[in-house]
Structure 1
């Protein structure tokens, strides 16, 4: 008798690590990713941390072929508010898929972040899965690029990396240009990315680069808009 396939929810940031996690999980016969969960900041209509527009997020989800659940938070969100919204979205997921009890994250190296996620999810009866954790990030970045993954740098921490990298394409040239000490996957928060193409999408996203702005005196955010879609500033 064949073993049952475990259903998995995936925390989706819109970036390359979450995308590669989806790709890796889809190679396994014992699990099935059934949906994506993304934290969205209501005030900005964007993915929290990455600053990716909501319509771009929806285009990504459509290209994965997976339903999207949004955990909506206000800007300047405290931990209690974040946790309440996250827990409510987990409960929504379990209503849709009653047997669901595991959520995957694209964590790579930061054990403290992974432990925090594990404790948070455990409080609500969930387990976590981190299939990329502990991988060599130089080899991982090379593997992503070789497999045809394309992403744009949508946020750069200018205290760790020159702001001029914001808006650039995550490719071989960028990896070669990163300064010594910068993690090639941005795992220390040096940069965040917007996935636009890869083996986990059934079609590429067509985006147009917008303006780059400095926020909080530190983070260089580059806006990316869906090609051909009307947009307002923000």
Structure 2
């Protein structure tokens, strides 16, 4: 038996492929999900970074069969509110917090510090694995992800709305961007796969620009 077998976990969920793959791996290890937590921008009324609206997150939660808790926060109180929610989840029985980070040391340190403050263990199932191999694993396992945000300084906006596939990954890497988007080249929304009971239906709004970022807003169908 591995040391994580049977342990209850909360996961730092973004809506994107890496956090979903980390959750998938944790469950395959025999861990038990308590709640998924996601930071929610109170000014934009969407999740931080991936821009998922609350009503669509409700659809994701229903399909996954796992509660999703919004951490409603401004940028100023982001770390404090994250720690507060971890403490609440610990009281609810979570022993471990699962993160989808791969190899950015500053992310590891930030997440670990938040968990240390809350008295909960940080676990990084994807840590220091090959980025391209992780994308392949995600696709091969049958997950569906669409690109919703592109950093146009690093990747052309033609990739907006594309479903992540071997062909899409080849297009991304042909432009010199990272296959996994770990440097922020792109963000995804995962709507289907082995963790989902049914596909999550969604649609797009009109493309918007925010600095160098091109965003295809996702919303409930």
The answer, yes or no, to whether TM exceeds 0.5 is yes
CA shift, 1:26, in A, is: 1.3
Could you say which residue in structure 1 is the equivalent of 2:51? Answer: 51
* Number of equivalent positions: 217
Identify the match of residue 205 of structure 1 among 200, 204, 213: 200
Could you say which residue in structure 1 is the equivalent of 2:127? Answer: 133
Instruction: Give the whole-Å Cα distance in 2 for the aligned partners of 1:70 and 1:190.
Output: 25
Instruction: Give the whole-Å Cα distance in 1 for the aligned partners of 2:167 and 2:220.
Output: 24
Equivalent runs, 1:54-93 vs 2, <5 Å:
54-74=54-74, 77-78=75-76, 81-93=77-89
Instruction: Give the whole-Å Cα distance in 1 for the aligned partners of 2:9 and 2:69.
Output: 13
CA shift, 1:139, in A, is: 1.4
Gaps in structure 2 of 5+ consecutive residues = none
Structure 2 length normalisation: TM-score?
0.92
Could you say which residue in structure 1 is the equivalent of 2:28? Answer: 27
Could you say which residue in structure 2 is the equivalent of 1:14? Answer: 15
Whether 2:150 is the aligned partner of 1:156: answer yes
Contact 2:83 2:117 survives alignment (8 Å): no
Q: Give the secondary-structure state (helix, strand or coil) at the position aligned to 2:208.
A: strand
Could you say which residue in structure 2 is the equivalent of 1:170? Answer: 164
CA shift, 1:225, in A, is: 2.0
> Which deviations, in whole Å up to 9, do the C-alpha atoms of 1:14-34 show, x marking residues without a partner?
1111111111111113x2122
Contact 1:104 1:128 survives alignment (8 Å): yes
Cα RMSD of the aligned pairs, angstroms, is 1.6
Identify the match of residue 190 of structure 1 among 178, 185, 191: 185
CA shift, 1:96, in A, is: 2.2
Structure 1 length normalisation: TM-score?
0.87
Gaps in structure 1 of 5+ consecutive residues = 228-234
